[in-house]
Amino acid sequence: MPYANQPTVKITELTDENVKFVIENTDLAVANSLRRVFMSEVPTIAIDWIQIDANSSVLHDEFIAHRVGLCKGCCCNKLCDCTCDDFCPECSVELTLDVRCTEDQTRHVTSRDLFSTNPRVIPVTSRNRDNDPNDYVEQDDILLVKLRKGQELRLRAYAKKGFGKEHAKWNPTAGVSFEYDPDNALRHTVYPRPEEWPKSEYSEIEEDEVQAPYDPNGKPERFYYNVESCGSLRPETIVMSALAVLKKKLSDLQTQLSHEIQSDVLTIN
């Protein structure tokens, strides 16, 4: 390809939550597009419709609905985008929650209390606990509301596929760290006092230097990413889905363009 770059990718670290990698030999525009797609266009599953049958807790209905919506769902298979008006088993998963506090001590209603009808789609934190029952893991279930004796919460919800552009609950990342030119050789940032700023972990200059010498002809070339997943998808899955989504957008645009050209040709003739 005469004009296409051949970027190189190097993965430096991969854990259950993070993936750190470096992309070289590409441009800032493409690298930024990748970062944007990681956050806003990777589809995940989150609760989108909720019906509260009983709520005598201290939080009002829409408060609880908002909190429940932000609980991430993790899924092993993919739900399809179907065109039905209502929620059907093809495109959504039903979840229920039914908690009543009967003891004297406060009952914490967490994401673990959300039960889904489809065993492959569950709220995020439950899965981690089931895997190691012997280890003492910090209670990382998402707290929804606390109930006193006599209070109850009963609701039905449907979870759907969506992506971060529509609502932040569908954002699979907890954060995407994006860095280039760690020693500020291009002077894209102008520090009033450079010696105050800590060095980046990717810095390549000596201890006593604060910034690399100015390079007027340089271009940003090496981009360091650290994609942290919130738990609904594995981090490498996020990266690969993002690339697939970007390719799909481009190919859709290409098909549309060829249709436009054809229809233009037909109208002229």
Least distance to other proteins, CB of residue 144, Å = 32
- Of the pair 120, 249, the CB lying nearest other proteins is at 249
Place of tokens 């670290």: 13
Least distance to other proteins, CB of residue 84, Å = 15
- Of the pair 106, 251, the CB lying nearest other proteins is at 251
Q: What angle do CA 125, 119, 16 make, to 5 degrees?
A: 35
Q: Which stretches of the chain bind other proteins, using CB under 8 A?
A: 1, 3-11, 14, 21, 23, 26-27, 29-30, 32-34, 36-37, 40-41, 236, 239-240, 243-244, 246-247, 249-254, 256-261, 263-264
Least distance to other proteins, CB of residue 61, Å = 29
Helix ranges (H only) for 52-171 are 61-69, 124-131
What's the token pair of residue 251?
Answer: 């190919």
- Of the pair 30, 58, the CB lying nearest other proteins is at 30
Q: What gap in Å lies between CA 241 and CA 127, rounded to an integer?
A: 22
Residue 126's nearest CA partner among 134, 117, 116, 12 is 116
Q: What one-character DSSP code corresponds to residue 170? A: G
- Of the pair 47, 233, the CB lying nearest other proteins is at 233
Least distance to other proteins, CB of residue 233, Å = 15
Q: What one-character DSSP code corresponds to residue 196? A: G
